[in-house]
Amino acid sequence: MQLINNLNRDKIFSNLNFSSEFSVKDWDALIKLKLGKYFNDDLIFQKNKELLRTEIINYLRFCSNHKYLKLFERTLDLYNECIKIEKQKIIKIIADSFHFTSNTDLQWMTNVITQPDSEGFSDRDKVSYYFKVINETLEGVFKPRFKLLNKIVQFKLNNILVDNSNYDFGKLVREFPIQFKKDFKLFLEDPVFSISINQWRNIATHKSFTILKDNIVVEYGQGNIQKLTLSFKDFYNIVQWTQDIYRVIRLGQVIIDLNYIKEIVDELGGTNNINVRLESTLLQIIHNMQIVGFEFVSTEEQIDTFCLNVKGKIDHDLKSSLIHASQCLDKLSCAIYDDEFIRSNFQRTKIFIVDDDQNKLASASISIEVALRKVKSEINLDEYLSCMNFDLELTSKHSGQ
């Protein structure tokens, strides 16, 4: 049985709309303009360009709102200020939280994969579903990253490391230092009704809401229970707020991680124990392939082979398209190997060039073991290519059967 249904997996990439009008240079210019200033030096920025072409999508979803952009930059400033004070201590704080916060990306990806298509839902079912989204966002992925931010805030204020591992959401919010509440207000309460973030989590978790024909009634608080009637429009604004603050806190921490990844990895004792979910890397691979002119169609599993199906490059012949597309196979092989949950499922990776009717025209494939040897510089490029299987006659073979 397949570990993940392909149709669900492919939903992850549905928002990466293909366009041949925005070139690699355009993307690189965009990330340099918007994100370059947040890196310590240009070498670190250049090393992470491919990753940043995906991260820029998250940035663009909140940067047009001045309040969220200011929150993002204040988050970065806080980390950088503390690193200037006690670099090694802050690196240790980040490293100690690294696996915990990285797991939020795995959780976020799971939420995306398993989400239903809500377009056909009734208003009642849609509201119920989005309360579930609020809970999964705030408790599952925002809270772990907020705990890390809270540690950094406490260090900046008192120059001490606070162990908040056992804090519940309410305590994290209640004991957030008052000196920083103005700067991080959007992390602490919603911008519509000023209800604390932990109360929204409680409302969603405990289903303390009633969906009426024209509005929604929520109940929150302990002892003195409070009620709030809100419109459907206001509710969806609340949902959007939960998504935006997660994007902000996550991207801020990602950029800090990239700036100091060598020190963080050294503190962790190397990369052997770091696990990356396939879909996370696959998102970057597909996005970067679309940037250079390939249109993503689907993924496919053939016994022990993981396959990508893409349309060929516009104004390129089949052979040149296939040669160019095959350059992703080493990265795809690494993505398979880096996910310990599916590592044993596949021995090879393959890419198909397909036409508009999804007929397979050509393919290239490589052994994952060989691809890893190439990445580790154990074999040279010529040796690697000699192990790759190219097939430019798939259509004729199919027609002859």
pLDDT digits (tens, 9 = 90+) for 59-99: 999 999 999 999 999 999 999 999 999 999 999 999 999 88
**Better pLDDT: 239 or 399:** 239
pLDDT (0 to 100) of residue 148: 96
pLDDT (0 to 100) of residue 358: 87
pLDDT (0 to 100) of residue 312: 87
Q: Please determine, for residue 45, whether its predicted confidence score (pLDDT) is greater than 60.
A: yes
Name the nearest CA neighbour of 293 among 51, 23, 52.
Answer: 23
Secondary structure of residue 25 in the 3-state scheme: helix
C-alpha 368/C-alpha 377 separation (Å) is: 14
Name the nearest CA neighbour of 160 among 264, 82, 252.
Answer: 82
pLDDT (0 to 100) of residue 401: 41
**Better pLDDT: 84 or 1:** 84
Q: How confident is the model at residue 295 (pLDDT cuts 50, 70, 90)?
A: confident
392 to 137, 209, 299, 365, 397: CA distances (angstroms): 45, 59, 20, 12, 10
CA of residue 223 relative to chain centroid, distance: 39
pLDDT (0 to 100) of residue 278: 74
pLDDT (0 to 100) of residue 1: 25
- Please state the rounded mean pLDDT for residues 202-228: 94
**Better pLDDT: 289 or 249:** 249
Q: Please determine, for residue 368, whether its predicted confidence score (pLDDT) is greater than 90.
A: yes
Output the pTM of the full model: 0.82
Q: How confident is the model at residue 19 (pLDDT cuts 50, 70, 90)?
A: low
What share of the chain in percent tops pLDDT 90?
A: 62
Q: How confident is the model at residue 274 (pLDDT cuts 50, 70, 90)?
A: low
- Please state the rounded mean pLDDT for residues 177-206: 97
pLDDT (0 to 100) of residue 113: 66
**Better pLDDT: 279 or 35:** 35
C-alpha 326/C-alpha 363 separation (Å) is: 8
Contact 363, 306 (CB under 8 A): no
Q: Please determine, for residue 187, whether its predicted confidence score (pLDDT) is greater than 70.
A: yes
C-alpha 340/C-alpha 155 separation (Å) is: 35
Q: Please determine, for residue 11, whether its predicted confidence score (pLDDT) is greater than 80.
A: no
pLDDT (0 to 100) of residue 7: 35
**Better pLDDT: 310 or 4:** 310
Q: Please determine, for residue 284, whether its predicted confidence score (pLDDT) is greater than 80.
A: yes
Q: How confident is the model at residue 282 (pLDDT cuts 50, 70, 90)?
A: confident
Contact 222, 117 (CB under 8 A): no
Q: How confident is the model at residue 41 (pLDDT cuts 50, 70, 90)?
A: very high
* Per-residue pLDDT tens digits for 251-270: 999 999 999 999 998 898 86
C-alpha 311/C-alpha 355 separation (Å) is: 6
| Rg (the chain; Cα; Å) | 23
Contact 330, 366 (CB under 8 A): yes
Structure tokens at 376: 């580790």
**Better pLDDT: 272 or 175:** 175
Mean pLDDT for the chain overall: 87
Q: Please determine, for residue 397, whether its predicted confidence score (pLDDT) is greater than 70.
A: no
